[in-house]
């Protein structure tokens, strides 16, 4: 298409030339009159097409788009192509949407589409069964009118959807639902609802099984350990040939007792999801105690230094935090060869407070780091066993930190040493 301004210019120039010729054969008046009538007719033509365009724009339809004349032919042709392209992409979009709806309907999980005011726009069949939504009746209703549980309303308003929310179903109490909100587009949300009763039951069974087995094993082991101690105390009663076996049995019994104690601690931590004994912890006293314990464990083989860079206290469980922090310091002692250096730091980092244990010990290869907090995961199993490790320490630390909304950061370099950091959020900090 040519530039329409150029077309208009050439048309008017051509008409001026014709009128000039006319003036040549007649006179100037006739030429001017002809020129003015031509320009007026030209403007009237444009007015007519503008009117047609306006009429069409009131009720735009692809079938009734005018044909136009001159430059208007190009304008309407372009409009026609643009409209066709638009209507094609719109029908493609609606068929994609339709397919998406069919696919979502076939999902085993309940799916609810919410708009920016948390009103229900659409939901699939499983959402009807799991959440008790009624088709045609509940559409356009705010979701919190229908799911009124306080935990859900809080979850919806908190706008922090990285973790799903587990709820007992309000319709069938033995059903556990997992609700997850996924934001999409501009402030729209997808609510996914999953029935996790079977997983939940297996998880409870697993937890009960470990707790029961550990509990049942504790008494016989205490008895065996007691007898072994009594026998080894009986001077001269045990022949020197079998004394090494007795010693080995004692070491292994102690190890098993430690594993059972750690398993029971883990079960307790898993069952108590929220903290019950929150107190203000005097961090100065606690860190001094940790320092003394680490020095006692090291028996003078390492240089253990405490750096108290801040005096803030913590709000939490004394026993739990003492256990988590001493796990890190005892690991540092156990995985650092004699003459090594261990530094314990208590520092502010922005709004947060950080507890750090840094050693220059054996270090950990990077591929082990993401798995260190798994139960029984050991980067160096030989050393862990030799130093009395159970492989459960960091798993216990992880659970305790979860209770305190804190996080564990690990940096390590094989042969250079490790740095374990616990970062406590601002809401856990109390001025000393």
Note the residues at the interface with ligand ADP (CB under 6 A).
327, 331-332, 335, 359, 361-364, 372, 378-380, 384, 389-395, 418
Q: Which is nearer to ligand ADP, 316 or 393 (CB)?
A: 393
Which residue's CB is nearer to ligand ADP, number 71 or number 290?
Answer: 290
* Cβ at position 330, least distance to ligand ADP in Å: 8
Strands 303-308 and 341-349: parallel
Of the pair 110, 363, the CB lying nearest ligand ADP is at 363
* Region of 299 on the Ramachandran plot (φ > 0 left; ψ -120 to 50 alpha; else beta): left
CB of 386 to ligand ADP, least distance (A): 10
Residue closer to ligand ADP by CB (options 139, 365) is 365
**Nearest-CA neighbor of 412 among 356, 369, 354?**
369
CB of 299 to ligand ADP, least distance (A): 18
Per this entry, what is the length of the chain?
432
**Least distance from ligand ADP to the Cβ atom of residue 115, Å:** 47
Closer Cβ to ligand ADP, 113 or 372, answer by number: 372
End-to-end Cα, the chain, rounded Å: 79
| Cα 79 → chain centroid | 47
Question: What's the closest the beta carbon of residue 114 comes to ligand ADP, in angstroms?
Answer: 42
Burial class (CB in 10 A: 0-12, 13-18, 19+), 131: buried
At its nearest, how many Å lie between ligand ADP and the CB of residue 268? 17
* Measured torsion, CA atoms of residues 227, 330, 324, 269, in degrees rounded to the nearest 10: -30
Least separation in angstroms between residue 427's CB and ligand ADP is 27
Alpha-carbon distance of 208 to 266, in angstroms, equals 12
Are the C-beta atoms of residues 415 and 399 closer than 8 Å to each other?
Answer: no
Burial profile 23-57: b = 16 or more Cβ within 10 angstroms, e = fewer: beeeeeeebeebbeebeeeeeeeeeebeebbeeee
Which of residues 180 and 407 has its CB atom nearest to ligand ADP in the complex? 407
Which of 155/345 has CB closer to ligand ADP?
Answer: 345
Which residue is listed with tokens 């049942």?
216
Shortest Å distance, C-beta 228 to ligand ADP: 23
The nearer residue to ligand ADP, 419 or 429, going by C-beta atoms, is 419
For residues 393 and 327, is the Cβ–Cβ distance under 8 A?
A: yes
Are the CB atoms for 31 and 20 separated by under 8 Å?
yes
> For the stretch 61-96, what's the b/e string if a residue is b when 16 or more beta carbons lie within 10 angstroms of its beta carbon?
eeeebbebeebbeebbeebeeeeeeeeeeeeeeeee
Residue 349: its H or E element: strand 341-349
Beta carbon nearer to ligand ADP, 118 or 412 = 412
CB of 357 vs ligand ADP, minimal distance in Å: 7
């Amino acid at each position: 298409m040519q530039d329409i301004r150029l077309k208009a210019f050439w048309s008017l120039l051509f008409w001026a030339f014709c009128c000039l010729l006319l003036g040549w054969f007649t006179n100037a008046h006739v030429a001017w009159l002809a020129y003015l009538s031509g320009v007026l007719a030209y403007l009237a033509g444009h007015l007519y097409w503008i009117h047609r365009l306006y009429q069409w724009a009131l009720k735009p339809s692809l079938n009734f788009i005018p044909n136009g004349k001159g430059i208007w032919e190009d304008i309407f042709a372009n409009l026609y192509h643009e409209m066709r392209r638009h209507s094609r992409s719109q029908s493609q979009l609606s068929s994609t949407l339709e397919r998406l709806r069919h696919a979502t309907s076939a999902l085993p999980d309940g799916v609810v589409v919410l708009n920016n005011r948390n009103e229900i726009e659409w939901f699939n069949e499983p959402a009807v069964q799991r959440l008790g939504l009624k088709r045609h009746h509940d559409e356009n209703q705010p979701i919190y009118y229908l799911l009124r549980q306080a935990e859900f309303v809080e979850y919806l308003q908190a706008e922090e959807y990285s973790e799903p929310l587990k709820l007992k179903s309000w319709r069938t109490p033995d059903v556990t639902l997992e609700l997850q909100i996924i934001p999409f587009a501009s402030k729209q949300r997808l609510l996914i609802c999953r029935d996790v009763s079977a997983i939940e039951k297996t998880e409870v069974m697993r937890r009960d099984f470990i707790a029961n087995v550990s509990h049942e094993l504790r008494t016989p082991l205490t008895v065996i350990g007691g007898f072994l101690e009594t026998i080894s105390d009986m001077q001269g009663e045990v022949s020197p040939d079998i004394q090494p076996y007795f010693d080995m049995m004692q070491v292994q019994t102690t190890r098993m007792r430690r594993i059972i104690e750690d398993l029971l601690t883990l079960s307790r931590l898993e069952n108590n999801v929220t903290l019950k004994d929150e107190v203000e912890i005097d961090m100065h006293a606690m860190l001094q105690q940790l320092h003394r314990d680490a020095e006692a464990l090291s028996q003078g083989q390492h240089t253990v230094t405490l750096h108290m860079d801040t005096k803030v206290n913590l709000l939490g469980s004394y026993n739990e935090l003492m256990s988590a922090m001493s796990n890190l310091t005892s690991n540092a002692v156990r995985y650092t060869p004699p003459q090594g250096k261990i530094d314990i730091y208590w520092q502010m980092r922005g709004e947060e407070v950080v507890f750090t244990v840094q050693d220059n010990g054996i270090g950990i290869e990077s591929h082990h780091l993401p798995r260190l907090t798994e139960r029984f995961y050991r980067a160096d199993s030989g050393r862990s066993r030799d130093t009395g490790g159970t492989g459960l320490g960091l798993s216990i630390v992880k659970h305790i930190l979860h209770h305190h909304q804190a996080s564990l950061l690990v940096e390590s370099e094989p042969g250079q040493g490790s740095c374990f950091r616990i970062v406590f959020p601002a809401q856990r900090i109390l001025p000393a």
